[in-house]
Structure 1
Amino acid sequence: MAAPDTTAASDHCGGRCSDILPPGQNGNATLAQILLNQAFGTQPAHAEDQLGPYAGLATGYRGLTDATVNTFFNDASFGVPADQVASTEKPAGRSDVTIVRDKKTGVPHITGTTRYGTEFGAGYAAAQDRLWLMDVFRHVGRGRLTSFAGGAPANQGLEQQFYRNAPYTEADLQAQIDNAVAHNGARGQQALADVKAYLDGINAYIDASDSGRYFPGEYVLTGHKDSITNAGTIEHFRITDLVALASVIGSLFGSGGGGEVNNALSLLAAQARYGVEEGTKVWESFRERNDPEAVLTVHNGERFPYGTKPADPQGEALPDTGSVTTEPLVYDRTGSAATATAESTSAAAAQTVLGSARRGMSNALVVSGKHTAGGHPIAVFGPQTGYFAPQLLMLQEIQGPGISARGASFAGLSMYVELGRGQDYAWSATTSGQDIIDTYAVELCQDDHHYLYRGTCTAMEKVEQKNAWKPTTADGTAAGSYTMRVWRTKYGPVEYRATVGGKKVAYTTLRSSYLHEADSIIGFQMLNDPDFVKGPEDFQRAAQHINYTFNWFYADSQHTAYYNSGDNPVRASGVDAEFPVWARPAYEWRNWDPAGNTADYTPPSAHPHSVDQDYYISWNNKQAEEYTTAPWGNGSVHRGNLLDDRVKKLVAAGGVTRARLVQAMADAGLADLRAEDVLPRLLQVIDSAPVTDSTAAAAVSKLRAWVTAGARRAETSAGAKKYADADAIRILDAWWPLLVEAEFRPGLGTDLYTAITRNLPVDEAPSAGHGPTGSHAGSSFQYGWWSYVDKDVRAVLGESVRGPLARTYCGDGSLAACRDILIGTLKEAAGKTAAQVYPGDEQCAAGDQWCADSIVHRTLGGIKHGKIGWQNRPTYQQVVEFTSHR
């Protein structure tokens, strides 16, 4: 007997809503499935069925039509047609909720007749699909991963990465919940009820899977369960676990700013090199706070001043040269990891495992209906949350009283859809990175663990987490232990020690979302509520309740909109957010209350926002004019230009379709930013005289042909695992770091050059294991010196440069000398073999260029997946065009 069609909610997408989230919906596997996967590569059902379509777009996008979009995406319509129902379940025997899964993807479609039942079903489905991952991250959020999952270097790195930023006690976690509920009236009470129902659903699945022995096999591999006797326990989830989870997600994706100590060190290096006045000008030119050539998301001329440089900076607390030391985090190591090598390996592992998630995030392309073929807005957007197995996000549809949405949510926080679509609107986000983190210099008194707080010598609070692990099948490490220790002050956790003017200080890090990870739940609740969101202004009001630093985008059948979220603290007059300041009342955030870490925040009207702009693009670029607190690298060349150039052309031509906008995204996702936007200028310098050297001439010819062909890192054909312009790509990969160093190090000097590379890495090509995202991470070209090279070379060519560098570096401004530098480094690069450029790693043989670029889903559980070809795009992605409105 066929199950009924579960479509019940109003759906105004007309079959034009699609999405994709690789590798697959199913992130749980039994012990038997894990062993089969490891032995034979066998995949559990729906574990990687979205990986093939996702990967296929890289070679299939050129021939894309609206009719074939769902060859590479899922149909994201509400409900499941009767002939596509794979299973129907009443979780825990409840009569008020049904979970239907579709045949193609196994996505849960949760329909409840009561609010409690709906949220119970959401929790049950989340545990069905991501229980192990949820368990991992609740332990990461508490700094207890190694005790739970073993002492592998990656586990050590993960817990260390987050513990310093959010060293919360159980009381802190509970207080966040209490505060979020208390300050949000009826919606706060509803959120609390939703969370409790969601937890009941998670725990009901834990009990059912335990008694039925179909719980995730990782529990056996890490010694928590016995596969024969079923002895051992899987701990129930508590409400504070969800706050611990949220602290990890907030730290990864929604906490822009910081880095003030490194900024100070590079400023001091510039001043040491050039003197205070000239050195400051040099530093500011590299910082590009408000570069007039930067690509903008709000490009209609509106200005949103925030974080601008004060005319007369006050309260700066720059360290004495050579005095800065990092505050130790790990103490009393024992066992096989008790070496400095192990500690550095752990730090590297943290960067490798989640570096791409934290660094390279998300893009959006949204076009107004005035410029589309159908007269309705079109959006192609989604977050880049890194490539993991299982994925951090999970898909779901939730329909119940006051909730109607389909999309993606972070595992363990899926009581609401966080990025997705409602009945007649869709929304998504990119990481914005504006500065909500400040560094304070607290003056020490009495000893190294007391500081002056508003004139009183005050003891720091010591927060510790002891971890010990036994050897496990999963990670193969020997037994060991260590303690993580963080010293907390009213001004946040201690991160560095130094002297300032001879006085001993501790540098602390204070972010506005510290102790407030739970607050954003209200905004997500609103986004899921069809009675709340009825247009772009409602969407913006919902996004205003999200305190993480995100760019939010919206589309319905008539309107588009944008809003930049985050609790932007109102700083004291004269404080420069780029540098550490003294921890004194005059320099604190306005009306700051350390008891709950609350302050005055800039009003919504001061945040970049817009409705019905001709188009919006975002790839973590600058939001708007004078919004100057973005990360380093927002200059004349940014990967946002790859989207802006393509969408601008589509809008100018008119008649934009879903397929054309997907093609623009996919084409930008294969482009080498350096080759498209900087290499033509480099070739122009080289062309200023005949190239007589045969090696250099051959290299120039290959590079020029590649630029003419589109400057893409594209396979010759689907599945070929070889690039069409392999030699040119190899040459540029080898050339870029050589030319940057040769161009800038002589003028800057070694100390300043090195200091600036700590603020902004030189390169982030797909295969650049030395870059900020590491190897096999997908996301590329977010961080690099492309803007510096572009501005410097244009100056050498005598072109007009808005917002130029303070000096000309290539050949000291001489065209002939600059050309010699380029020719010399190009010859060196052309002589490097593929094995030298792509040295190989645990995934790839030396010299395998395609493999070096390839995307690897890093395992957070027992199931592994195969590599896919490189493309620079979101992990979860929607393609939407609503045809009607309520």
Structure 2
Amino acid sequence: MSAALAVVASTVAALPAAPALAEPAYEDYCAPAGCLDILPPGQNGSATLIEILGHQAFGTRPKHSSSQLDMYDNLVHHYDGLTDEGLDDFFIDASFGVDAGNVDRRYKPRADVTITRDRQHGIPHIEGTTREGTMFGAGYAAGEDRLFLMDVLRRVGRGELTSFAGGAVGNRGLEQDLWSTAPYTEEDKQAQVDRVANSGERGEQALADVDAYLEGVNSYIDAADRGRYFPGEYVLTGHKNAITNRGKIEHFTPTDVVGIAAMVGGIFGGGGGGEVQAAIVLANFQDRYGAEEGLELWHAWRMENDPEASVSVDGEFPYTQTPDSPVGEVAPDPGSVEPYSIVHDEYGSAASAATAEPRAAASADEDAPGPEAPTVEELPEEQRAELEQMVEEGDLSAAEGIFDDGVLPEGFLDPRGMSNALLVSGAHTESGNPVAVMGPQTGYFSPQLLMLQELQGPGISARGASFAGVSFYVQMGRGVDYAWSATSAGQDITDTFAVELCETDGSDPSTSSRAYVNTAGECTDFEALSVSNDWKPTVADGTPAGGYTLTSLRSEFGLVRSFATVDGSPVAFTELRSTYMREVDSILGFQQFNDPDAVTSAETFTEAAGDIGYAFNWHYVDSEDIAFINSGANPVRTEGTNPNLPIDAYSGSGWSGWDPATNEADYHPQSDHPQEINPDYIVNWNNKPAQGYTSGWSTGSVHRNDLLDARVAGLIGEGHQFTPASLTATMMEAGVADLRAEQVLPVLLEVLDTEAVEDPELAETVEALRDWTESGSLRREPQRDAGYYEHADAIRVLDAWWPLLVRAQFEPGLGEDLYTQLTRAASVDESPSAVGHVGSAFQYGWWSYVHKDLRTVLGQDVEGALGDEVYCGEGDVDSCRTVLLDSLAEAAAVPAGDVYPGGEHCSAGNQLCADTVIHQAVGGIGMWPIAWQNRPTYQVVYQFSGGR
């Protein structure tokens, strides 16, 4: 057996035997229904070269790589009548420890830590006799399960993904996105590490934890290199030689952790920005309606504090509201904005990645059920020998196509928040203990960005999910007798400044100038933060050779986004984020979440959340309490500052106490953040957390959170006593509901019903839409593998109608230019098929605009109306009805093949396939599609029956 084939066998068989696990330091307080979670597709996110070849040639998958995928998908089809006893079919056990009869592997990567993996799913349960040992074990297990993904993520953090993995469009897009938001030098990253280490006892402990974690990662790298069982993607991307073993997998460093943390924080925990586009929209409103009325209409459409918006907690929490008398506002001159591109000196092309549609595994077994798929070890000896021969001869033909679109697909990370949470107090549960169903949505990938683990050691006791590469703590999951999860909040922690351009030689500046006036009044060059990338085709990648340099321009006022003129003078528009150069600070909050001595109640949890600078909504549950707290480094703005439009950098407006050298400022205290302990229930789906807390465009009378809120509130109103199963079923029904059909279609039908529809075919279409909304507005098969949706034609019609409807309703009144600019500020539609196989849908859209305008036409009470203007039919019901009927007739005539045009994964007209969720392959192992569902990637179901 060759060294390459030997990796298929257990890589730890020769490690010394470990003693039985000691009794946990704390009792496990999970209720009889259990603590449950799920994270598809599976825990094992690593594949050797021979396993990748086996996957491509024979459809095999590594053990535990897909064991959670069907469980996750099946809930969509079987949530009706769900019982607590039946939850085990759709979630895995999240209690502490592993039963003796369920141990798959138990091993000691070093003397002071034991890792135990269970038989069903291979989750690492890490127990250290020292804290250092626990952290070492976490790093070792992370290397085992996610090494190549971790390497990909740290290369993104360095801005050098294309040099590492090839120049396909997905790779280029991701590194450009990160280099434009967190372009850090190694010195910048080390400064973050040093600041945390010097922040006190917890900071010192955090740095020690990271060091021990990285020691574990690097120990695994060395062992895998010696044993030649490293991930096969290193061979396929040209970094290792399968025959000679030449090449090196670079050790991880603390600055790599900073890079990954910056990526996670910037994408999932950022918020704000976009003020230049807001100013352009304002200018268009004022051009059309005049200065005063245009400003009023802009505020109405901006919906920064709509009284009809769905909120998660009671109370007023004012933040980033437009002041009555703003000072320091600026606006670009019309047509003068020139976006700044960080891409320079580009050569070559990446034609193989021209398609923008996300990519699934390039294998013929996409529809094969995963858990039944064999592993390489289970192949007949003849086929195993064939794989061995391929490796020995360097024949990697079976891997052709794995990286056709690069390692990462376009849209690999979507910065929009998609997570949700449902928590019900004990007053409304059967047991009298609160119930929580919650989790983050981080996208669908193979392997997942998140990984599961249990950590037990001095000062740490937790089980749950962590991002690969920063998994020294559990970031969302459970402690001894409590649990927590997050949703992206997205509150405004980023402002835009207009910075005066100059020339260092004293000549007249222009928008081509690359120097600015700093806080000392001196003309100084922008700091150019550059990284160069050269890529060449990999073994199986058709991307031609190429390269470029990425250069972000940094000033004291933030990173340059565009150049323009203001009143004829050239400026740069920069964006400054409060967590820029401070992402790692949040490590202190996560450390406390994992510490059973730090979190002993809802109150202590909310205190710990105050140490997290990312813009998140945190949800907490124990045996008695539920709680909500919004976190984030919310800067205090000086009086009169309007954070919703660009700010004159020299006006005195901006952040109170701001130090340009460190990006420190005065921050709002925790008491200013939306929060609540023990309401009847809490639901959140990235919606506005509370009244007064400024939200983004179109956050009004209709929001995705209404799908949760209406169901939970309705059941409580009926006297329903929730169980873990019934709350899970409630979540899942909302997760297959079409927001437009449930919340907006009834109002559309009200307008249409003011008279009978004369055209028989159109009348039939209207009745089909009515039947759908009255039956629940679900996009769901009647049973699994039916191959079609119930109410399929009504769904087709609404998918075709919505964009036509919005344009017909609003463009005549707004005018083409203003309408176009508004669609750039707020997406018109996010139906499941429109978002492209990513699952999560209906976060952004013109639902509230349509809803409010039609209610105004009907003469209904509308709080926060769209100003004094009425758009549909200029406010006349009959004219509006004609607009709706004409656009509906146009939509009904659109064939399914045009509504669902097909592509790489689906034939034209295949509605069900167009909606499917496809796990994007971040490496050599692909997965099969699953049904569309609007739910977290990692999801937990928790109920505790007691506590310490």
TM-score range, shorter chain: over 0.9
- Contact 2:357/2:410, CA 8 A, preserved across alignment: no
The alignment status of 1:569 with 2:658, answered yes or no, reads no
Cα displacement string for residues 389-408 of structure 1 (whole angstroms, at most 9, x for unaligned residues): 11100000000000000000
Task: Give the SS at the match of 2:832.
Answer: coil
Residues of 2 paired with 1:12 and 1:255: CA distance? 34
Spell out, residue by residue over 1:784-841, the C-alpha distance to the aligned partner (whole angstroms, 9 max, x if none).
0000000000011110001111111000000000000111111111111110100011
Q: Report if aligned partners of 2:170, 2:412 keep a CA contact under 8 Å in 1.
A: no
Distance 1:596 1:625, change over 3 A: same
Instruction: Indicate conservation of the 8 Å contact 1:453/1:583, yes or no.
Output: no
Task: Name the structure 1 match of 2:385.
Answer: none
Q: Is the contact between residue 181 and residue 192 of structure 1 (CA under 8 Å) also seen in structure 2?
A: yes
Measure the CA separation in 1 of the matches of 2:442 and 2:283. Answer: 35
Summarize the alignment of residues 699-848 of structure 1 with structure 2, pairs less than 5 Å apart: 699-768=765-834, 774-806=835-867, 807-848=869-910
Spell out, residue by residue over 1:447-482, the C-alpha distance to the aligned partner (whole angstroms, 9 max, x if none): 411111232222211111100011102432111110
1:277-288 aligned within 5 A: 277-288=292-303
1:771 corresponds in structure 2 to none
Give 3-state SS (helix, strand or coil) of 1:688's partner.
coil
One-letter identity of the residue aligned with 1:748: L
Q: How does 1:362-761 map to 2 (within 5 A)?
A: 362-446=419-503, 447=509, 448-454=513-519, 455-584=521-650, 586-628=652-694, 630-652=695-717, 653-761=719-827
Query: Which structure 1 segments of 5+ residues have no match?
Result: 769-773
Question: How far is 1:161 from its partner?
Answer: 1.1
Cα distance in 2, alignment partners of residues 145 and 645 from structure 1: 44
For each residue in 1:180-236, what CA deviation from the matched residue of structure 2 results, as whole angstroms up to 9, or x when unmatched? Answer: 1212x1100000100000000000000001111110000000000000010000000
Could you tell me which residue of structure 2 aligns to residue 140 of structure 1? 156
What is the CA–CA distance in structure 2 between the aligned matches of 1:696 and 1:2, rounded to whole Å?
72
For 1:471-500, what per-residue CA distance to the aligned partner results, in whole angstroms no more than 9, with x for missing partners?
102432111110011111001110100000
Name the CA shift for 1:364/1:61 in 2 (closer, same or farther; >3 Å). same
2:30 corresponds to which letter in structure 1?
C
Runs of 4+ in structure 1 deviating by more than 4 angstroms, as ranges, are 1-7, 337-346, 348-352
Tell whether the 8 Å contact from 1:356 to 1:777 is kept in structure 2 after alignment.
no
Following superposition, the deviation at residue 10 of structure 1 comes to 2.1
Aligned match of 2:192 in 176, 184, 195? 176
CA contact (8 A) 2:168 2:353 kept: no
Native 8 Å contact 1:453 1:584 kept in 2: no
Aligned with 1:297 (options 303, 309, 312): 312
Counterparts of 1:588 and 1:852, CA distance in 2: 46
Q: CA offset at residue 323 of structure 1?
A: 0.1
Deviations 1:257-282 (A, max 9, x none): 11111111111111111111111111
Counterpart of 1:202 (choices 193, 217, 227) is 217
1:352–1:775: 8 Å Cα contact kept in structure 2?
no
Q: Which amino acid aligns with 1:801?
A: V
Q: Match of 1:10, as an amino acid?
A: E
Supply the AA of the counterpart residue of 2:886: G
User: What is the letter of the counterpart of residue 308 of structure 2?
Assistant: E
Tell me, in whole angstroms, the C-alpha distance in 1 between the residues paired with 2:779 and 2:356.
36
**1:333/1:481 contact within 8 Å kept:** yes
Q: Is 358-367 or 540-549 further displaced after alignment?
A: 358-367
Whole-Å separation in 1 of the counterparts to 2:786 and 2:231 = 36
Distance 1:283 1:372 in 2: 44
Q: Report the Cα offset of residue 3 of structure 1.
A: 7.9
Aligned-residue sequence identity (percent) comes to 56
Alignment of 1:245 with 2:310, yes or no, is no
RMSD (Å) for aligned C-alpha atoms: 1.9
Rounded Cα–Cα distance in structure 2 between residues aligned with 1:796 and 1:352: 44
Partner SS, residue 779 of structure 1: coil
Q: Which residue of 1 aligns with 2:44?
A: 26
Cα deviation, residue 356, structure 1: 6.1
Q: Say whether 1:160 aligns with 2:160.
A: no
1:71 aligns with 2:136: no
Check conservation: 1:157, 1:350, Cα contact below 8 A: no
Letter in structure 2 aligned against 1:98: T
Residue 812 of structure 1 aligns to a residue whose secondary structure is helix
Partner of 1:11: 28
d(CA) in 1 for partners of 2:670, 2:432 = 30
Measure how far apart 1:695 and its partner are. Answer: 2.1
From 210, 232, 240, the counterpart of 1:225: 240
| Unpaired segments ≥5 residues, structure 2 | 1-16, 360-404, 504-508
Q: In 1, distance between residues paired with 2:540 and 2:207?
A: 36
Deviation at 1:4, TM superposition (A): 4.2
SS at match of 1:290: coil
Residues 353 and 858, structure 1, Cα contact 8 Å, conserved in 2? no
SS at match of 2:796: helix
Query: Residues 395 and 342 of structure 1: is their aligned pair in 2 closer, same or farther, counting only changes over 3 Å?
Result: closer
Relative distance call for 1:90 and 1:737 in structure 2 (3 A) is same
Q: Secondary structure at the match of 1:826?
A: helix
Pairing 1:124–2:140 present:
yes
- 2: CA distance, partners of 1:350 / 1:108: 26
Distance in 1, matches of 2:53 and 2:845, equals 41
- Seen in structure 2, the aligned counterparts of structure 1 residues 350 and 580 have a Cα distance that, compared at 3 Å, is farther
Of 264, 273, 284, 1:258 maps to 273
| TM-score of the two chains, using structure 1 as the length reference | 0.97
Tell me the distance in 2 between the aligned counterparts of 1:654 and 1:158: 46
Contact kept? 2:419, 2:488, Cα under 8 Å: yes
Once the two structures are TM-superposed, the CA of residue 588 in structure 1 deviates from its matched residue by 2.8
In the alignment, the residues of structure 2 paired with residue 816 and residue 355 of structure 1 have an alpha-carbon distance, to the nearest angstrom, of 46
User: Structure 2 counterpart of 1:188, which letter?
Assistant: G
Cα shift readout 1:607-645 (whole Å, capped 9, x = no counterpart): 0111111111100101111111x2222100000000000
AA matched with 1:695: E
Name which of structure 1's ranges 549-558 and 8-17 shifts more when overlaid on structure 2: 8-17
2:171·2:410 contact (CA, 8 Å) conserved in 1? no
**1 CA distance for matches of 2:310 and 2:902?**
36
